[in-house]
């Protein structure tokens, strides 16, 4: 199991977490000061940033090469770019973006949940390509591209009545499923209840956040089950587990630190959030 390293302060629900240039960026989509920036060593709050012209944020990622952070805006149908110097720009997606990731070409991979497409853009928002997902990949949340050009996608929503909740590895053209893990929604080892976000390490092992089962699962590079990395806290005395619904992941690869964003769900809405850091 992952070992607890630190817990960032509780506050408004969290929509994403990443790091850039020695700092942790935490996204809280409600109100002003949506982006909180913490020191990566001391975990002390450095500053807060307000993203202009927001609608509804759904994810965050970063690129050390381009020295910027990207934020997906679902209702605005765009991606906001935050330079390390603090300048904001944005570019349109022309669909509702959900999960974000950056590939080895330093391009942005945008998962469009409604139209079931993967869209690739340059760092400045120039369209590179669009890939339609197979018919049985319903409600895709997040996509990551492997070094060999294949795509790993997590998909499935109980609210939408999707019959399959799983993680798939697809061919580079998006037409064929090469490997998969999951199936009918549930809580057993080989099942998920809304796999919502992914992280991949240097050896291409895959971390999967399982939102409603309140756990993070580790899969092999061919999507075979390895173990549970983090799970729901069933015992009050155990501080190395999750207490709310995990929704977003970020893996700091060199230090093997896994940042897990989790939110409290109460009275039909998310009311609070935090980020928990684990050594994996």
* Structural domains for the chain: 133-231 (2.40.10.500)
Task: Report how far residue 227's alpha carbon sits from residue 239's, in angstroms, rounded to the nearest whole number.
Answer: 19
C-alpha 188/C-alpha 253 separation (Å) is: 28
Residue 178 pLDDT more than 90?
yes
User: How high is the pLDDT of residue 98?
Assistant: 97
Return d(Cα 62, Cα 84) in angstroms, integer. Answer: 10
Residues in the chain: 280
111: part of which helix (H) or strand (E)? strand 108-112
DSSP string, 211-234: TTTTEEEEE-TT--EEEEEE-B--
Q: Cα separation of 31 and 211, whole Å?
A: 24
Please name the helix (run of DSSP H) or strand (run of DSSP E) that holds residue 130, with its range, or none.
Answer: strand 127-132
pLDDT value at residue 165: 98
Summarised one tens digit per residue, pLDDT across range 53-92 is 888 899 999 999 999 999 999 999 999 999 988 899 999 9
Residues 227, 218: contact at Cβ < 8 Å?
yes
């Amino acid at each position: 199991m992952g070992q607890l390293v630190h817990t960032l302060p509780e506050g408004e629900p969290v929509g994403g977490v990443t790091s850039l240039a020695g700092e942790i960026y935490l996204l809280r989509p409600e109100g002003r000061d949506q982006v909180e920036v913490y020191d990566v060593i001391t975990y002390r709050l450095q500053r807060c940033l307000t993203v202009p012209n927001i609608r509804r944020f759904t994810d965050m990622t970063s690129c050390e090469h381009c020295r910027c952070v990207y934020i997906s805006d679902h209702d605005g149908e765009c991606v906001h770019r935050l330079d390390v110097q603090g300048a904001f720009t944005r570019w349109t997606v022309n669909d509702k973006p959900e999960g974000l990731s950056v590939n080895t070409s330093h391009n942005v991979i945008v998962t469009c949940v409604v139209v079931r497409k993967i869209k690739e853009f340059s760092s400045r928002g120039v369209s590179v390509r669009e890939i339609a997902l197979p018919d049985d990949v319903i409600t895709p949340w997040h996509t990551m591209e492997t070094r060999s050009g294949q795509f790993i996608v997590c998909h499935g929503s109980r609210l939408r009545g999707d019959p399959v909740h799983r993680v798939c590895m697809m061919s580079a053209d998006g037409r064929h499923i090469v490997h998969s893990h999951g199936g009918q929604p549930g809580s057993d080892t080989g099942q998920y209840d809304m796999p919502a976000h992914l992280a991949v390490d240097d050896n291409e092992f895959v971390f999967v956040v399982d939102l409603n089962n309140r756990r993070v699962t580790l899969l092999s590079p061919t999507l075979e089950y390895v173990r549970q990395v983090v799970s729901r806290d069933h015992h009050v005395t155990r501080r190395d587990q999750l207490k709310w619904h995990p929704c977003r992941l970020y893996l700091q690869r060199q230090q093997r630190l896994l940042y897990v964003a989790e939110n409290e769900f109460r009275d039909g809405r998310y009311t609070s959030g935090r980020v928990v850091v684990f050594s994996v």
